[in-house]
C-alpha cells in the first residue's frame, strides 16, 4: 500500500514519562516507526515522504494560540536556561473547573498546563518538527486519494488522536487523523467518516468534529470508566448542534476478547455505511493487540488481517493513520496485517 513515512520522526524522542509517580522510559518512541518501516520495506510496499503542507488544515482544527505555543515551546523552555536542553518540561498545574483558560499565563509551566490534558505527553527538542511532518503526511495521503489512489497509510509518529483543538495529550500533539479528514473535505469530499480503532478513545478527534455533520466520528475503545483518557468516550456522547447524531462511541470492558471487539466493529461499520461518506479515515491504533504493554484487549495478528478485510468491504477510499501500539517489535507485522488484509 502507498505509505507515507515521517522523515522527522526520530527528532521527537523524549526519554521518560511518569507512571504512578515514577519516571519510566517512554512507551511511545522512535523504535515504533522504525519497526513499521522495516516491515513495510520487507514486504515491498511503496514508501514516500510527505509532500503537502498541512498548515491550512492545522489552522482549521487547532487554535492559533495552541499552534503558536507548540511551535515555540522548546525555544521557550531553553530561554529559561541553557541547561534545560537536557531536561524535559512537564506541566504541574491545569486550569480545571472554575479556573480561567482565556488568559495565557506569563509562566512557561503554567502555559504548558493550559495547553495539556495530562502530564503524559513529554516534549523534546524536535517535537514540533516531527509532529508537523506527521500532519503533512496526513495531508499528503489525502492528496493521493484525490489523485485516484484507493488507499494510503501514514506510518507516522507522534500519534494524534488525543490532541484536541487547543491541547496536547496521550503522546499526541497535532491531530493527524483530523488533518486527513479535513484535507479530504477541503479537496472536495462532501462527507467523511473517521473510524478510531485505537485501544484508547480518540477524545481529540471527537472534540474537533463534535458539532459537525460533515465528519462522522466512530470509536471502539476501552471503557473510559477504567481506561485512559477517562473523561470522554462514553456511549451517551452522540454529537451536538449540527453534529447531533454524528458521533458514536462503542466502549468495551477492559480485557475484551476479539469476538467482543469484532461485534463492535460490525456496529461501527454499519454506522459508517449509513453516513454515505465519500472517504474514510482510520485512526489505526494497534494497542488492541494482546501483547500490548499498556492495554488489555486480546487481538492477535490474524485479527488485524480480518480488520483490514472488513474495512475493504465498506468499499470506500481509506487513509490509515498510525496511532498507538506499544508492543514495538510486533507493530510492523500487525500494521502489515491490516494493510494486506485490506488489499486482498
Q: What is the binding site for ligand SP5 (CB under 6 A)? A: 19, 120, 159, 162, 170-172, 198, 200, 228, 285, 287, 294, 323-324
Scan residues 241-260 and list those touching Zn ion (CB under 5 A).
none
162 noted as active-site residue: yes
- In whole angstroms, give the CA distance from residue 330 to residue 325: 9
Please identify which residue in 74, 115, 167, 199 interacts with Zn ion, judged by CB under 5 A.
199
- In whole angstroms, give the CA distance from residue 114 to residue 274: 38
- The number of angstroms, rounded, from the C-alpha of 59 to the middle of its chain's C-alpha atoms is 17
Find the residue with minimal CB distance to ligand SP5. 324
Which of 62, 162, 221, 275 is catalytic? The answer is 162
- Residue 294 interaction partner, one of Zn ion, ligand SP5, none, beta carbon < 5-8 Å per kind: ligand SP5
- Residue 159 interaction partner, one of ligand SP5, Zn ion, none, beta carbon < 5-8 Å per kind: ligand SP5
Q: How far is the CB of 188 from ligand SP5 (least distance, A)?
A: 29
Q: In the chain, what's the furthest Cα-to-Cα distance?
A: 55
Q: How far is the CB of 260 from Zn ion (least distance, A)?
A: 18
- Residue 19 interaction partner, one of Zn ion, ligand SP5, none, beta carbon < 5-8 Å per kind: ligand SP5
Please identify which residue in 37, 118, 196, 198 interacts with Zn ion, judged by CB under 5 A.
198
- Residue 91 interaction partner, one of ligand SP5, Zn ion, none, beta carbon < 5-8 Å per kind: none
Q: Which residues have a Cβ under 8 Å from the Cβ of 258 and sit 6 or more positions away?
A: 297, 298, 299, 300, 303
Q: Which residues have a Cβ under 8 Å from the Cβ of 225 and sit 6 or more positions away?
A: 251
Residue 35 contacts Zn ion per CB under 5 A: no
Q: How far is the CB of 150 from ligand SP5 (least distance, A)?
A: 26
| 259 burial level (CB within 10 Å; 0-12, 13-18, 19+) | exposed
Quick check: 240 and 209 in contact, CB under 8 A? no
Residue 285 contacts Zn ion per CB under 5 A: yes
Please identify which residue in 229, 251, 324, 332 interacts with Zn ion, judged by CB under 5 A.
324
Residue with Cβ nearer Zn ion (169 or 243)? 169
Q: How far is the CB of 323 from ligand SP5 (least distance, A)?
A: 5
- In whole angstroms, give the CA distance from residue 138 to residue 50: 8
Q: What is the DSSP string of 158-227?
A: S--TT-BTTBBBTTBSS-HHHHHHHHHHHTT-S-EEEEE-SSS--HHHHHHHTT-SSEEEEEEEE-TTTS
Q: How far is the CB of 202 from ligand SP5 (least distance, A)?
A: 9
Stretch that binds Zn ion, among 7-15, 73-81, 91-99, 317-325 (CB under 5 A): 317-325
Quick check: 235 and 251 in contact, CB under 8 A? yes
- The number of angstroms, rounded, from the C-alpha of 211 to the middle of its chain's C-alpha atoms is 19
Cell 471487539 -> residue: 261
- In whole angstroms, give the CA distance from residue 181 to residue 277: 11
Helix (H, G, I), strand (E, B) or coil at 28: coil
- Residue 228 interaction partner, one of ligand SP5, Zn ion, none, beta carbon < 5-8 Å per kind: ligand SP5
Quick check: 295 and 325 in contact, CB under 8 A? no
Stretch that binds Zn ion, among 12-20, 74-82, 195-203, 261-269 (CB under 5 A): 195-203
Q: How far is the CB of 134 from ligand SP5 (least distance, A)?
A: 12
Residue with Cβ nearer ligand SP5 (91 or 317)? 91
Residue 202 contacts Zn ion per CB under 5 A: no
Task: Please identify every residue annotated as catalytic.
Answer: 162
Residues at the contact surface with Zn ion, assessed by CB under 5 A: 198-200, 285, 287, 324
Amino acid at each position: 500500500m502507498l505509505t507515507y513515512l515521517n522523515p522527522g520522526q526520530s527528532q521527537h524522542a523524549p526519554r521518560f514519562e511518569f507512571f504512578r509517580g515514577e519516571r519510566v522510559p517512554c512507551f511511545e518512541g522512535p523504535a515504533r516507526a522504525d519497526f513499521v518501516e522495516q516491515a513495510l520495506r520487507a514486504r515491498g510496499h511503496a514508501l514516500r515522504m510527505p509532500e503537502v503542507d498541512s498548515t491550512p488544515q492545522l489552522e482549521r482544527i487547532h487554535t492559533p494560540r495552541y499552534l503558536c505555543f507548540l511551535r515555540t515551546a522548546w525555544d521557550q523552555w531553553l530561554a529559561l536556561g541553557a541547561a534545560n536542553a537536557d531536561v524535559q518540561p512537564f506541566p504541574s498545574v491545569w486550569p480545571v473547573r472554575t479556573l480561567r483558560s482565556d488568559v495565557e499565563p506569563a509562566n512557561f509551566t503554567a502555559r504548558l498546563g493550559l495547553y495539556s490534558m495530562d502530564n503524559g505527553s513529554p516534549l523534546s527538542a524536535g517535537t514540533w518538527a516531527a509532529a508537523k511532518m506527521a500532519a503533512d503526511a496526513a495531508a499528503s495521503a489525502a492528496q493521493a486519494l484525490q489523485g485516484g489512489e484507493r488507499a494510503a497509510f501514514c506510518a507516522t509518529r507522534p500519534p494524534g488522536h488525543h490532541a484536541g483543538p487547543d491541547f496536547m495529550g496521550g503522546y499526541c500533539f497535532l491531530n493527524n487523523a483530523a488533518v486527513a479528514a479535513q484535507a479530504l473535505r477541503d479537496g472536495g469530499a462532501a462527507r467523511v467518516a473517521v473510524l478510531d480503532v485505537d485501544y484508547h478513545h480518540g477524545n481529540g478527534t471527537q472534540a474537533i468534529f463534535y458539532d459537525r455533520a460533515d465528519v462522522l466520528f466512530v470509536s471502539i475503545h476501552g471503557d473510559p470508566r477504567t481506561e485512559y483518557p477517562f473523561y470522554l468516550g462514553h456511549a451517551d456522547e452522540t454529537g451536538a448542534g449540527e453534529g447531533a447524531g454524528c458521533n458514536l462511541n462503542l466502549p468495551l470492558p477492559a480485557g475484551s476478547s476479539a469476538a467482543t471487539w469484532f461485534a463492535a466493529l460490525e456496529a461501527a461499520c454499519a454506522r459508517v455505511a449509513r453516513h454515505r461518506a465519500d472517504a474514510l479515515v482510520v485512526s489505526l491504533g494497534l494497542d488492541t493487540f494482546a501483547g500490548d504493554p499498556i492495554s488489555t484487549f486480546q487481538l492477535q495478528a490474524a485479527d488485524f488481517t480480518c480488520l483490514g478485510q472488513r474495512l475493504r468491504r465498506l468499499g470506500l477510499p481509506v487513509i490509515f493513520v498510525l496511532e498507538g501500539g506499544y508492543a514495538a517489535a510486533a507493530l510492523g507485522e500487525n500494521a502489515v496485517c491490516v494493510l494486506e488484509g485490506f488489499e486482498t
